[in-house]
């Protein structure tokens, strides 16, 4: 049971008031969440300024993934790292943009923070929604030296996960393991205010999201699923489907949380050895935590993503998430093949 909190409560008050089954949020986690979300507010203000402060365009550098970095990828990464340095309970950070984990202070403390600092980089320069995705894990031994292995925990062990979308509104979605709550950035107070408690993803939907330009590379079960959606009311599904693809996972997942749907970035044959495009630790696990906490599902085709044992910090995974009925159908098509 989650304690109801009054709408428009500020995030600072929310983390103090939040209780699941009478248990409040530990003070160290409160501190981390407040520092992290405050930094996202700073980042939101930078994003809103865009070209006016010269932060659009390529940084001319590459990241650990071999991808070209945008200036905002670098700015977001630096801001987030700096923003949580004073957190006493934080032992280390792993970022999509950096190869090795960074200790915070001496690398001691209860929590580990992982993030994709700026998701949807291809949308930065065209003023389409982008975001920050984060995941918080418990450090296995708060008093031991920080290692990469500390971070390699299955998604189900996350103590918190969330994202911030920098869109028409700046919106924060957060789960502390007892439902998903939504906040909007209030321009007047400069704070996140609670706008919805207990978000639920509808079990059925008639909306799907996938990059259709990759259709010729998909595996047969994904092609079958999408073909049947496209056949509409005259096909086996006997209903018309709508398609949306924003190419920012934060914005696509926000739509799924808001009105249901299914989002897919599956494995494909372009690079058969690559399990998928999206990253397990920085994208799939935190989004999966939110989706499951809102009553949806997330799989790699066959297995629940939150049960996967990560092998490496930057590993990639095939992703299918959203409304239960559709994810179950995708699982069925994958297990039949
Ligand atoms: P990024 O973290 O480098 O921005 O990449 C992840 C993004 C997701 O937000 C989005 O779902 C996907 O990559 C879009 O890929 P594509 O351009 O192939 O459609
Ligand atoms: Mg990303």
Model confidence pLDDT, tens digit, residues 26-52 = 999 999 999 999 999 999 999 999 999
Ligand 1 pocket, residue 247 CB under 6 Å: yes
- Average pLDDT, stretch 95-117? 97
Ligand 1 pocket, residue 121 CB under 6 Å: yes
Cα distance between residue 146 and residue 326, in whole Å: 40
Question: Which ligand 1 atom is nearest residue 250's CA?
Answer: 9
What are the CA-CA distances from residue 96 to residues 82, 162, 335 (Å)?
16, 15, 31
Nearest CA to ligand 1 atom 17: 247
Distance 249 CA to ligand 2 centre (A): 7
Those residues whose beta carbon sits under 5 angstroms from the ion ligand 2 are 116, 119
Cα distance between residue 150 and residue 133, in whole Å: 20
Cα distance between residue 292 and residue 199, in whole Å: 11
Q: 324 pLDDT exceeds 70?
A: yes
How much is the pLDDT for 305? Answer: 98
How much is the pLDDT for 68? Answer: 83
Ligand 1 pocket, residue 65 CB under 6 Å: no
pLDDT digits (tens, 9 = 90+) for 169-207: 999 999 999 999 999 999 999 999 999 999 999 999 999
Distance 249 CA to ligand 1 centre (A): 6
Cα distance between residue 179 and residue 193, in whole Å: 17
Ligand 1 pocket, residue 69 CB under 6 Å: no
- Look at the pTM and tell me if it is higher than 0.95: yes
Question: Which ligand 1 atom is nearest residue 96's CA?
Answer: 2
**Contact between residue 130 and residue 47 where contact means Cβ atoms under 8 Å apart:** yes
Nearest CA to ligand 1 atom 6: 120
Q: Break the chain into its structural domains and give their ranges.
A: 11-196, 207-336
Q: Which ligand is nearest to the CA of 319?
A: 1
How much is the pLDDT for 117? Answer: 98
Architecture of domain 207-336: 3-Layer(aba) Sandwich (3.40)
Distance 236 CA to ligand 2 centre (A): 34
Name the phi and psi angles at 115, rounded to 5.
-150, 155
DSSP, res 10: B
**Contact between residue 318 and residue 308 where contact means Cβ atoms under 8 Å apart:** no
Q: 248 pLDDT exceeds 90?
A: yes
Strands 111-119 and 102-103: unpaired
Name the residue of 126, 128, 133, 248 whose CB sits within 8 Å of the most ligand 1 atoms, as the mutation to test its pocket: 248
Homologous superfamily, domain 11-196: Fructose-1,6-Bisphosphatase, subunit A, domain 1 (3.30.540.10)
Helices within 50-174 (DSSP H only): 71-83
Q: 89 pLDDT exceeds 90?
A: yes
């Amino acid at each position: 049971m989650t304690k109801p909190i009054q709408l428009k409560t500020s995030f600072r008050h929310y983390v103090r008031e939040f209780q699941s089954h009478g248990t409040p949020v530990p003070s160290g986690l409160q501190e981390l969440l407040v520092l992290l979300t405050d930094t996202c507010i700073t980042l939101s203000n930078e994003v809103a300024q865009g070209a006016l402060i010269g932060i659009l365009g390529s940084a001319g550098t590459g990241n650990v993934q071999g991808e070209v970095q945008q200036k905002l990828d670098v700015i977001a990464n630096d801001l987030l790292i700096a923003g949580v340095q004073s957190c006493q309970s934080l032992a280390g950070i792993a970022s999509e943009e950096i190869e090795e984990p960074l200790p915070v202070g001496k690398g001691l403390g209860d929590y580990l923070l992982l993030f994709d600092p700026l998701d949807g980089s291809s949308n930065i320069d065209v003023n389409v929604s982008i975001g920050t995705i984060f995941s918080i894990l418990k450090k296995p031994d708060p008093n031991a030296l920080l290692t990469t292995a500390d971070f390699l925990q299955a998604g189900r062990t996350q103590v918190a996960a969330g994202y911030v979308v920098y869109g028409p509104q700046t919106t924060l979605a957060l789960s502390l393991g007892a439902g998903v709550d939504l906040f909007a950035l209030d321009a007047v107070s400069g704070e996140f205010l609670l706008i919805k408690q207990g978000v639920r993803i509808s079990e059925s939907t008639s909306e799907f999201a996938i990059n259709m330009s990759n259709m010729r590379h998909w595996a047969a079960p994904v092609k079958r699923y999408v073909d049947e959606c496209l056949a509409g009311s005259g096909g086996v599904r006997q209903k018309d489907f709508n398609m949306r693809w924003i190419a920012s996972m934060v914005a696509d997942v926000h739509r799924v949380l808001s009105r249901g749907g299914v989002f897919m970035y599956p494995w494909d044959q372009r690079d058969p050895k690559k399990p998928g495009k999206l990253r397990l630790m920085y994208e799939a696990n935190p989004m999966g935590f939110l989706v499951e906490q809102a009553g949806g599902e997330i799989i790699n085709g066959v297995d629940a993503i939150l049960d996967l044992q990560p092998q490496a910090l930057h590993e990639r995974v095939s992703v299918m998430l959203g409304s239960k009925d559709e994810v179950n159908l995708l699982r069925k098509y994958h297990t039949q093949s």
